[in-house]
Amino acid sequence: MAGTATVRVSLWLFFAFMLGACGKPPSLLEQVQSRNELIVITRNSPTTYYEGVDGPTGFEYELAKGFADYLGVELRIVVPPNFTDILPLVARGDGHLAAAGLTVTNRRKLTVRFGPVYQEITPQLIYRMGSVRPKTFDDLEGHLEVVAGSSHVERLEILRSKHPELSWQENEQLESEELLTMVWQQLIDYTIADSNELSINRRFYPELRPAFDISSPRALAWAFSRRDDDSLYNTAVDYFAAIRKDGSLEQLIERYYGHITEFDYVGTRRYQAHIEQRLPTYLDIFKQAGELVSMDWRLIAAISYQESHWEEDAVSPTGVRGLMMLTQAAAKDMGIENRLDPTQSILGGARYFERMRDKIPERITEPDRTWLALAAYNVGYGHLEDARILTQKNDGDSDKWIDVKENLPLLSQKNWYKQTRYGYARGREPVRYVENIRSYYDILIWYTDREVVEVEVSKPMLLDSPAL
């Protein structure tokens, strides 16, 4: 407590000095920078913020971390107990902003100020496959439950004028992801979720289906206090302009959503069955391979599934074999005597992938480094380099997967591949290859991390500055 008091006295003296020196109190931006801390209010969900394999992650977290870096300060995340707490906390100034996948609505504009729009989503009524699909709200036969305080409640209240019998229950304890799980478990009949939330969660719960859109696309934006100080808000506007201009925002959207635009129900269900039926046979080998090359074993397993569906005697028409589908030349290079031996195949494939990743220029950061290495594993490093050169010719960033994947298909077009060193390649194949592995990897993480310790819910720390 004494330490806290000392800090507060020091801050008070600093602000008093600033007031005397400048004739006015420091701006909110100056307070953030002097304290070296940006306090962001958010929520736990796959589309916002959660504890991942390597620590905090999530689309909103990455955006907020980028803003903190832009300001040159540390990021502190606050997760209030309930979704309904988020906007009141921001309105009172108990945090600097809310980055929580918030839909911009007229009602919310009365209490908070929204920053630049960074994404659009569509709210949808969700049901489980196997039950009758409703076409309108008049067709609902069962229990509809939604997140309390969400924009969906506001929309339902508007729609009730057209559908007088429409009723629903607001849940103050659960997040959208948990309500989607309840629909899948048939504990409730319907919920409403944003299209991006459904895209992520239906890979884990394949029977979830959108019945219909409940509105046109809606904008997502950060929320700020409506107080007079515009300094932090204006800097956020500049930040979003900067990440739009340099492509960082588009790259971030691709990182979280680029590989889940298409959904394959049969393939997803088959993969989940194979996780339970086939993976245990090779689990220890995958873990051994992960230790061998200092890599998450689940990524190696995802590569193997894409290659062979975890069938150790798999053979392709082109002669590649085994769990990792190595060519004879690659097997020889890795010292593998029997490509159909599970241990030799997995360990050899992991080392071969490690070699591809080591070839990628060191300046390329993750996850682009891994996605490019996967493409090289599939199509060959030479063809990948050809595609990167074409990316540069087409004014793209050859160090970013989002740009390279747009140019890889050009390797199958004569007017393009004749400009390259290694010539023709089936360029669309490595794009599908990488995107499939990304989805397999995400699902495998979800399967194996369901028992991890949940993120501690923080109590909001009130800011003691009168300027907030």
Mind telling me the catalytic residues? 307
Cα–Cα distance, 139 to 189 (Å, whole number): 12
Closest CA to 396 of 385, 386, 404: 404
- Report the half-sphere exposure of 4 (CA within 13 A, side-chain side): 4
For the CA atoms of 289, 293, 295, 298, the dihedral, rounded to the nearest 10 degrees, stands at: -20
Cα–Cα distance, 353 to 290 (Å, whole number): 11
Q: Confirm if 29 and 232 have CB atoms less than 8 A apart.
A: yes
CA geometry: angle at 73 spanning 71 and 75, to 5°? 110
Query: Hey, which residues does 40 pair with through a beta bridge?
Result: 77, 97
Closest CA to 301 of 285, 315, 321: 285
Q: Which amino acid is at 443?
A: I
Residue 163 has what DSSP assignment? -
Cα–Cα distance, 244 to 43 (Å, whole number): 24
